[in-house]
A and B are shown apart, each in its own frame.
Chain A
Amino acid sequence: MAVCIAVIAKENYPLYIRSTPTENELKFHYMVHTSLDVVDEKISAMGKALVDQRELYLGLLYPTEDYKVYGYVTNSKVKFVMVVDSSNTALRDNEIRSMFRKLHNSYTDVMCNPFYNPGDRIQSRWALLPVSDPVQVGPAFCVLLPSFCRTCLAILVAKMQPFGKQGRKGLFKL
């Protein structure tokens, strides 16, 4: 039952940030932004030692009176931050981990979307804030294409990768 999910680019600008109580959006923005301090700290503390272990989950970043902020960082240094209500004691570390993993998968799907430019803000109209349901975190990034098509495109995109951004655009000329 995350109250706020944020995907933050490597350069620390938000790619995606949604929270359930929309009236308090600003508070969560501030909170997520502040949590980046700890994320940075943890990433630099992890340093080289943990690179091989591929532990992407950063754990509890910091607790506040009402919320707990968890962090997760992908190998490409894209950060996921999740804010959870403190009173929700049902969410243990494992649940948080699996939520992050789902989030990561969805994010990967978004990346595979050929209509998406990496680095752009994720503006999916389908992102109907499923943050209230931990199981439903995944479809936060609903991708427009049917899954089989997505797979094909993912392969294509992977092949186009050496050509960089132009290559991705060039894809549509195929």
Chain B
Amino acid sequence: MEWRRSYGRAPKMIHLESNFVQFKEELLPKEGNKALLTFPFLHIYWTECCDTEVYKATVKDDLTKWQNVLKAHSSVDWLIVIVENDAKKKNKTNILPRTSIVDKIRNDFCNKQSDRCVVLSDPLKDSSRTQESWNAFLTKLRTLLLMSFTKNLGKFEDDMRTLREKRTEPGWSFCEYFMVQEELAFVFEMLQQFEDALVQYDELDALFSQYVVNFGAGDGANWLTFFCQPVKSWNGLILRKPIDMEKRESIQRREATLLDLRSYLFSRQCTLLLFLQRPWEVAQRALELLHNCVQELKLLEVSVPPGALDCWVFLSCLEVLQRIEGCCDRAQIDSNIAHTVGLWSYATEKLKSLGYLCGLVSEKGPNSEDLNRTVDLLAGLGAERPETANTAQSPYKKLKEALSSVEAFEKHYLDLSHATIEMYTSIGRIRSAKFVGKDLAEFYMRKKAPQKAEIYLQGALKNYLAEGWALPITHTRKQLAECQKHLGQIENYLQTSSLLASDHHLTEEERKHFCQEILDFASQPSDNPGHKIVLPMQSFAQLRDLHFDPSNAVVHVGGVLCIEITMYSQMPVPVHVEQIVVNVHFSIEKNSYRKTAEWLTKHKTSNGIINFPPETAPFPVSQNSLPALELYEMFERSPSDNSLNTTGIICRNVHMLLRRQESSSSLEMPSGVALEEGAHLLRCSHVTLEPGANQITFRTQAKEPGTYTLRQLCASVGSVWFVLPHIYPIVQYDVYSQEPQLHVEPLADSLLAGIPQKVKFTVTTGHYTIKNGDSLQLSNAEAMLILCQAESRAMVYSNTREQSSDAALRIQSSDKVTSISLPVAPAYHVIEFELEVLSLPSAPALGGESDMLGMAEPHRKHKDKQKTGHCMVTTDHKVSIDCPWSIYSTVIALTFSVPFRTTHALLSSGTRKYVQVCVQNLSELDFQLSDSYLVDTSDSTDLQLVPLNTQSQQPIYSKQSVFFVWELKWTEEPPPSLHCRFSVGFSPASEEQLSISLKPYTYEFKVENFFTLYNVKAEIFPPSGMEYCRTGSLCSLEVLITRLSDLLEVDKDEALTESDEHFSTKLMYEVVDNSSNWAVCGKSCGVISMPVAARATHRVHMEVMPLFAGYLPLPDVRLFKYLPHHSAHSSQLDADSWIENDSLSVDKHGDDQPDSSSLKSRGSVHSACSSEHKGLPMPRLQALPAGQVFNSSSGTQVLVIPSQDDHVLEVSVT
């Protein structure tokens, strides 16, 4: 049936069940009736009357009476049913066909509501008419019934609300109201509207809760005091019956206690929820209810015997669980453990507290007091309910059994605990499982079964450690310590004790206790003397930092190394440690650069302090323990063309980041604290570690060279050893041995020859000890002097550059050997001293190199020979030194540079000759030059060198030059060559007078053919009739070659021809204009035959054309000796050679820049060719030496004026 309801509530399909009862006036509800279920909703009058007479006689009266009764009870829901029978109709014909009984009744009673009368015809027949009338009747019946129901229910609800509004009135009773609202709930339940029914109970629940809260706040209702009566019965929830009539009645009688009311309410809610297929909500609500009840009892200050509530809760939990289990299958329960597990753990908790209360947990079993209490508790349970009496596992039975004996309690408690732990574990609530496990462990400890407790404690501890909960860790450790003590796990116990002793969450006394436990054990005389208990160091003390002395952690063999460590003791009391040992691993790394003594001594590391990161033990795996990523870019280029091959990012500390996360087991367990046994130990005995930082110093004498790595730190207290298995970061020190060595090096960048220079001697003693009388024997080099100074001192340093002493140096020189006696120095020291050496300037072999200064380009020639003009000439001196530690002598090469470079030049002026010497200072120093001399070494008496230099002293600055000039004078015929030696004294300009006199700088050279043979004079004349030369017009060039002397020695060569006592020589002249000022027209060169006699003159005319206007220098006129080819070779000439010769001569003429040197070389090449290649029959040219030709017109200029009508404008368009 569709049910439309008031207040806009959604229409619902309902099932309304009705009972038909015979009408009795007593059954009619009286005013203020609260019962809905027995309420008469619809009154039906049935009649079979078909006779008008009968109707008038009896039925009408009867109907009237019925109607009046109904009216009196203000009931408007009625229905009259007239059953028509065909059989009757047949018997009695219808007298009044117009007015049937139906019409009559309708007329009499249903004046407005004609639908209140229904005709049911032939109800027992099976005809369509019958069917129809039945349907019509039933529809009507339903409609009217529902109408009445709705009306009455609405009235009831309104009444109920009115009653609720009165709750502030003094006489109001909750129980009464409870019954009313429950009636409504019953109706809804009957209508199968369980949701609505539940709402009614929830409303009641909330109302009651609110009253309790208000009561707690001091706003108490009178009726509530009734619920505050002491709890006398705690028999738990009863959920097996749909309605617990017993409790309901007690509520009705207002005798229920709070627990009764709550129990009843919950049982009803539970029933409805189960109807609604929501068993999990039952579990959830049950837990809430139980907590709530406990709170409410507290709030209302209801006196409860100890343990009573625990019993009640325990029973209730189990009841709820069993009820749920009863209506669900296994799979459903398994998948919804999350909802029920709370009840399980609550029950476990309660049973535990009951157990403690009743002395069932203690070792000795319950005492009489405990027993009395148990009896009281059991009494409060009352008798078992009949409905559960037959079930073997009823909560009642369980509790009774559990309280009856220690064994039974243990069994039940373990069952429950295990079940709870299992459930928690299965749904992933590991922490909760561990917590229950800890309770269990506590129980086992009480039962003196530590072996069983241990596993639970370990499990819980692991969990707390993994997540870093300090307080629970401490607490669990404490329990574990006790457990381990009972179990006799000495090692584990001591370890836990050490952890606890260092735990700051414990009180000072507790820490001291645990520390004392360790110390007590350590001081016990061990029955097995070799036995050691190895514990991790971390909890005992922490290594904070380490300091090396010497700070670079490098020490020579036999040297003393100090290692000072700071240990932070975690113990609350000072601990006397018998010895602290550092295990050192020794390794020799072959071919390692690190091992070279120089690196070791020179390379200074940090300040020698290594800090150890504080242990982050209490922290679990968090971001702190992981280092930051160290990322670097990486480029890889191909080796051939440097193009980028690959690029990427490298994480430098992958080994830190991808390290296997240490499983938490290793955090706690001493697994693998292995004592390393090594031959190398650093030991420190009898140290008392005060709480906090302690300084411990190890001292060791280095023995074998190599690398020593500090591996383990071990502190022993009696038979207890605290071991730090790995010292990280890696700490190592190096021991080296060193061969004695001698180094000699100049103090300046380069040594200069000629002046005293300082040289530093460094003797690294190494493993050799310098004894008294040990000396260095220097074999003297001839050209190098070792200048002995009286006050020279030697410094002695240790290898770490600390000065240890200085001593005077005794130097003894003989002509071959210089002996330097070394000061006494221990091994691994450095002796340093300086010596002055002087390289004697040996005359550099420059004399043979005839310098052709004055020729066209002399410098170019020099460039070819010496790559750079500023390179100093060097001399090497080798000194062999005999060292006392070796039978072999050490050869040391010292390179000295000559600070000067000297060049010379011959200058002529007509027949007068000058010698110029240029001294160039190549060094960085300034010098003072003095006493310059030029001496003719060949001692020709008629030759005189007249100095034209004014100053005797002359400074020469760094990178500057000084020139000296002498005039050559002679009286007789001059010699063909002149050997000169130039010498100049020099000393460093900056220094004061030197102790020794320095040797002067000398330079020897040779000048040849310096006598002037020819004078060349060129003149340009303007064209005839012109006053000046003009551009573009031909001018005449007149070259006058004059012989200045008669036949001399130098003339005697191939070019000289003799005829009739007259000598003549062939000369070639050439006019070349290098600056392109002149165009030489016609032949620019020619061969002339020059008579060898004084004042013999040859005149040559040539045509030249000036190309530019202005004062133009004259073109050069060059003079060569023309040497004929060897006549011996002429027979072998052939045509080709001649052609070649022509082309060569053409080439020579076309050469713009006939270089004297190139000409000469060409000539020489040809001469060379002619000798080895059957020769070319070609005349040879030989340049006349610079001194033999004097060009008297060099430097003159001719004025050229521009031509008048020559306006050439060159326009270049680009």
Residue on B nearest A63 in the bound complex, by CB = B291
Report whether B294 and A65 are in contact in the complex, using a CB–CB cutoff of 8 Å: yes
* Residue A97 is within 8 A (CB to CB) of chain B in the complex: no
A11, A14, A33: the one within 8 Å of B431 (CB): A33
Taken together as a complex, chains A and B put the C-alpha atoms of A117 and B624 apart, in Å, by: 9
* Residue B623 is within 8 A (CB to CB) of chain A in the complex: yes
* Residue B216 is within 8 A (CB to CB) of chain A in the complex: yes
Give B407-456 interface residues, CB cut-off 8 Å to A.
424, 427-432, 435
Which residues of chain B are near A63, meaning CB under 8 Å? Answer: 287-288, 291
* Residue A55 is within 8 A (CB to CB) of chain B in the complex: no
Report whether B430 and A14 are in contact in the complex, using a CB–CB cutoff of 8 Å: no
Residue on A nearest B464 in the bound complex, by CB = A33
Chain A, residues 26-46, CB within 8 Å of chain B (1/0): the string is 100110011011101100000
Interchain Cβ contacts within 8 Å, total number: 77
* Residue B622 is within 8 A (CB to CB) of chain A in the complex: yes
Report whether A165 and B295 are in contact in the complex, using a CB–CB cutoff of 8 Å: no
Report whether B471 and A36 are in contact in the complex, using a CB–CB cutoff of 8 Å: no
Chain A, residues 59-70, CB within 8 Å of chain B (1/0): the string is 000111110000
Report whether B624 and A25 are in contact in the complex, using a CB–CB cutoff of 8 Å: no
Majority-rule SS of B interface residues: helix
Which residues of chain A are near B628, meaning CB under 8 Å? Answer: 164-166
Taken together as a complex, chains A and B put the C-alpha atoms of A165 and B624 apart, in Å, by: 10
* Residue B1101 is within 8 A (CB to CB) of chain A in the complex: no
* Residue B879 is within 8 A (CB to CB) of chain A in the complex: no
Taken together as a complex, chains A and B put the C-alpha atoms of A25 and B505 apart, in Å, by: 11
> How many residues of A are in contact with the other chain, CB < 8 A?
31
Report whether A87 and B299 are in contact in the complex, using a CB–CB cutoff of 8 Å: yes
* Residue B298 is within 8 A (CB to CB) of chain A in the complex: yes
Report whether A33 and B338 are in contact in the complex, using a CB–CB cutoff of 8 Å: no
Report whether A11 and B467 are in contact in the complex, using a CB–CB cutoff of 8 Å: yes
Report whether A33 and B469 are in contact in the complex, using a CB–CB cutoff of 8 Å: yes
Which residues of chain A are near B622, meaning CB under 8 Å? Answer: 9, 11, 13, 119
Report whether A13 and B295 are in contact in the complex, using a CB–CB cutoff of 8 Å: no
Which residues of chain B are near A165, meaning CB under 8 Å? Answer: 628
Report whether A37 and B431 are in contact in the complex, using a CB–CB cutoff of 8 Å: yes
A9, A29, A62: the one within 8 Å of B472 (CB): A29
Report the minimal beta-carbon distance from A138 to chain B, rounded to whole angstroms: 25
* Residue B356 is within 8 A (CB to CB) of chain A in the complex: no
Report whether B471 and A119 are in contact in the complex, using a CB–CB cutoff of 8 Å: no
B213, B288, B472, B624: the one within 8 Å of A30 (CB): B472
Taken together as a complex, chains A and B put the C-alpha atoms of A41 and B432 apart, in Å, by: 12
Report whether B430 and A37 are in contact in the complex, using a CB–CB cutoff of 8 Å: yes
* Residue B278 is within 8 A (CB to CB) of chain A in the complex: no
Task: Count chain B CB atoms within 10 A of each CB in A29, A38, A62 and give the residue with the most.
Answer: A29
Task: Count chain A CB atoms within 10 A of each CB in B424, B430, B472, B621 and give the residue with the most.
Answer: B472
* Residue B619 is within 8 A (CB to CB) of chain A in the complex: yes
Which residues of chain A are near B947, meaning CB under 8 Å? Answer: none
Report whether A13 and B467 are in contact in the complex, using a CB–CB cutoff of 8 Å: yes
Which residues of chain B are near A118, meaning CB under 8 Å? Answer: 623
Give B84-130 interface residues, CB cut-off 8 Å to A.
none
Majority-rule SS of A interface residues: mixed
Which residues of chain A are near B432, meaning CB under 8 Å? Answer: 34, 37
Report the minimal beta-carbon distance from A101 to chain B, rounded to whole angstroms: 25
Residue on B nearest A36 in the bound complex, by CB = B431
Give B936-960 interface residues, CB cut-off 8 Å to A.
none
Report the minimal beta-carbon distance from B1107 to chain A, rounded to whole angstroms: 76
Report whether B291 and A65 are in contact in the complex, using a CB–CB cutoff of 8 Å: yes
Which residues of chain B are near A87, meaning CB under 8 Å? Answer: 216, 295, 298-299
* Residue A86 is within 8 A (CB to CB) of chain B in the complex: yes
Give A116-131 interface residues, CB cut-off 8 Å to B.
117-120
* Residue B691 is within 8 A (CB to CB) of chain A in the complex: no
Taken together as a complex, chains A and B put the C-alpha atoms of A120 and B622 apart, in Å, by: 10
Which residues of chain A are near B213, meaning CB under 8 Å? Answer: 89
Which residues of chain A are near B467, meaning CB under 8 Å? Answer: 11-13, 33, 36
B295, B342, B471: the one within 8 Å of A62 (CB): B342
Residue on A nearest B468 in the bound complex, by CB = A13
Chain A, residues 114-154, CB within 8 Å of chain B (1/0): the string is 00011110000000000000000000000000000000000
Report whether B469 and A13 are in contact in the complex, using a CB–CB cutoff of 8 Å: yes
Report whether A33 and B429 are in contact in the complex, using a CB–CB cutoff of 8 Å: no
* Residue B1000 is within 8 A (CB to CB) of chain A in the complex: no
Report the minimal beta-carbon distance from B903 to chain A, rounded to whole angstroms: 64
* Residue B861 is within 8 A (CB to CB) of chain A in the complex: no
Report whether A13 and B216 are in contact in the complex, using a CB–CB cutoff of 8 Å: no
> How many residues of B are in contact with the other chain, CB < 8 A?
35
Taken together as a complex, chains A and B put the C-alpha atoms of A169 and B213 apart, in Å, by: 53
Give B303-334 interface residues, CB cut-off 8 Å to A.
none
Report whether B429 and A11 are in contact in the complex, using a CB–CB cutoff of 8 Å: no
Residue on B nearest A25 in the bound complex, by CB = B471
Report whether A37 and B429 are in contact in the complex, using a CB–CB cutoff of 8 Å: yes
Report the minimal beta-carbon distance from B301 to chain A, rounded to whole angstroms: 12
Taken together as a complex, chains A and B put the C-alpha atoms of A19 and B13 apart, in Å, by: 55
* Residue B5 is within 8 A (CB to CB) of chain A in the complex: no
Which residues of chain A are near B427, meaning CB under 8 Å? Answer: 41
* Given known A-B contacts A13-B469, A14-B469, A26 and B624 have beta carbons under 8 A apart: no
Report whether A33 and B472 are in contact in the complex, using a CB–CB cutoff of 8 Å: yes
Taken together as a complex, chains A and B put the C-alpha atoms of A66 and B297 apart, in Å, by: 12
Taken together as a complex, chains A and B put the C-alpha atoms of A11 and B294 apart, in Å, by: 36
Residue on A nearest B288 in the bound complex, by CB = A63
Report the minimal beta-carbon distance from B335 to chain A, rounded to whole angstroms: 14
Which residues of chain B are near A37, meaning CB under 8 Å? Answer: 424, 428-432
* Given known A-B contacts A33-B464, A87-B299, A41 and B429 have beta carbons under 8 A apart: yes
Taken together as a complex, chains A and B put the C-alpha atoms of A156 and B354 apart, in Å, by: 59
Report the minimal beta-carbon distance from B303 to chain A, rounded to whole angstroms: 17
Which residues of chain A are near B299, meaning CB under 8 Å? Answer: 87
Report whether A64 and B291 are in contact in the complex, using a CB–CB cutoff of 8 Å: yes
* Residue B870 is within 8 A (CB to CB) of chain A in the complex: no
Report the minimal beta-carbon distance from A11 to chain B, rounded to whole angstroms: 5
* Residue B988 is within 8 A (CB to CB) of chain A in the complex: no
Report the minimal beta-carbon distance from A54 to chain B, rounded to whole angstroms: 24
Report whether B291 and A41 are in contact in the complex, using a CB–CB cutoff of 8 Å: no
A12, A26, A34: the one within 8 Å of B471 (CB): A26
* Residue B910 is within 8 A (CB to CB) of chain A in the complex: no
Taken together as a complex, chains A and B put the C-alpha atoms of A119 and B469 apart, in Å, by: 14
Taken together as a complex, chains A and B put the C-alpha atoms of A30 and B624 apart, in Å, by: 24
* Residue B1185 is within 8 A (CB to CB) of chain A in the complex: no
* Residue B475 is within 8 A (CB to CB) of chain A in the complex: yes
Which residues of chain A are near B464, meaning CB under 8 Å? Answer: 33
Which residues of chain A are near B620, meaning CB under 8 Å? Answer: 11-13
* Given known A-B contacts A13-B468, A13-B619, A34 and B291 have beta carbons under 8 A apart: no
Residue on B nearest A60 in the bound complex, by CB = B288
Which residues of chain A are near B435, meaning CB under 8 Å? Answer: 30, 33-34
Which residues of chain B are near A65, meaning CB under 8 Å? Answer: 290-291, 294-295
Report whether A41 and B428 are in contact in the complex, using a CB–CB cutoff of 8 Å: yes
Which residues of chain A are near B621, meaning CB under 8 Å? Answer: 11
Taken together as a complex, chains A and B put the C-alpha atoms of A65 and B470 apart, in Å, by: 25
Which residues of chain B are near A41, meaning CB under 8 Å? Answer: 338, 427-429
Taken together as a complex, chains A and B put the C-alpha atoms of A30 and B442 apart, in Å, by: 15
Report whether B291 and A14 are in contact in the complex, using a CB–CB cutoff of 8 Å: no
Report whether A38 and B471 are in contact in the complex, using a CB–CB cutoff of 8 Å: no
Which residues of chain B are near A11, meaning CB under 8 Å? Answer: 467-468, 620-622
Give B451-480 interface residues, CB cut-off 8 Å to A.
464, 467-472, 475
Known pairs A33-B464, A86-B291, A117-B624 / 19 extra A-B pairs, C-beta < 8 Å:
A11-B467, A12-B468, A12-B620, A13-B468, A13-B622, A14-B469, A26-B475, A29-B472, A30-B435, A33-B435, A33-B469, A34-B435, A36-B431, A38-B429, A40-B428, A41-B428, A65-B291, A65-B295, A66-B295
Can you list 17 A-B pairs, Cβ within 8 angstroms, ordered by A? A11-B620, A14-B468, A26-B471, A30-B472, A33-B464, A34-B431, A41-B429, A63-B288, A63-B291, A64-B291, A65-B290, A66-B295, A87-B216, A118-B623, A120-B624, A164-B628, A165-B628
| Residues of B participating in the A interface, judged by any CB pair closer than 8 Å | 213, 216, 287-288, 290-291, 294-295, 298-299, 338, 342, 424, 427-432, 435, 464, 467-472, 475, 619-624, 628
| Residues of A participating in the B interface, judged by any CB pair closer than 8 Å | 9, 11-14, 25-26, 29-30, 33-34, 36-38, 40-41, 62-66, 86-87, 89, 117-120, 164-166
